[in-house]
Amino acid sequence: MSPEYKKPPHISFKQFLEKFPEVQLPVTLSEETAHLFGKENHPLPSLMVEQFILTPEEQKAMDDMTEFVPCFRLPDTHSFHALIYWRGALMDHQFVMLTFTEDGRPIDRKVLAGLYSDGKEVVQSVAHIEDDWIIYVISGKQKADAKWGTDASQHTAREFELLPEGQIVENFLRE
């Protein structure tokens, strides 16, 4: 006789949303704010990560050491939800914005800020989200053994906008 089949547990989108407190904008995303969110919010359970955050390709490549911390959701989005989470892996930290329809279908995703190193170079980005949903991102790249801020040619500025339908688009800056 075969063992009885148990359906895997299902988490509702509402339960997932409750992990992300609303914040007032503007807000800045940096390594320092990652520590604050980590103190205030508990990491997401793996079932929530699998169900709402990771694509099937990412699920195959995921390790047990990577942590996902809910940071916040944007207020007054009305017809969609915009969430920010922090993903922490060894020398690879990212703040990611995810947008969903009201019933939990994914709309868009964008890495906004973080820190990455391959041992030779370090890339660090800071993002600032304004109350009009404009997102400014400043990134710097350095050799791993150099002081920060010593080579301005290795710094970039980008601007994104969160549209009323939930898409995250880049606004190209004029030089």
**Concatenated DSSP letters for 43-94?**
PPPHHHIIIII--HHHHHH--TT-EEEEEEE-S---SEEEEEEEEEETTEEE
Domain ranges of the chain: 22-171
Name the least confident of 28-32, 55-59, 92-96, 120-124.
55-59
DSSP run (H or E) holding 146: none
**pLDDT at residue 119, as a whole number:** 83
User: What type of residue is 63?
Assistant: D
H/E stretch holding 96 = strand 92-101
What's residue 8's pLDDT?
59
Helix, strand and coil in the chain, % to nearest 5: 20, 40, 40
Cα–chain center distance at 111: 6
Alpha carbon of residue 134 to chain centroid:
16
pLDDT of residue 166: 97
Instruction: Give me the torsion for CA of 20, 22, 26, 31, rounded to 10°.
Output: -20
Q: Give the tens place of pLDDT for each residue, 8-51.
A: 568 899 999 999 999 999 999 998 888 778 788 899 998 899 89
Cβ contacts of 168 within 8 Å, gap of 6 or more? 97, 99, 108, 109, 110, 135, 160, 161, 162
Which residues are paired to 95 by β-bridges? Answer: 86, 113
Q: List, for residues 67-85, the tens digit of each pLDDT value.
A: 999 999 999 998 999 999 9
Position 7 confidence tier, pLDDT thresholds 50, 70, 90? low
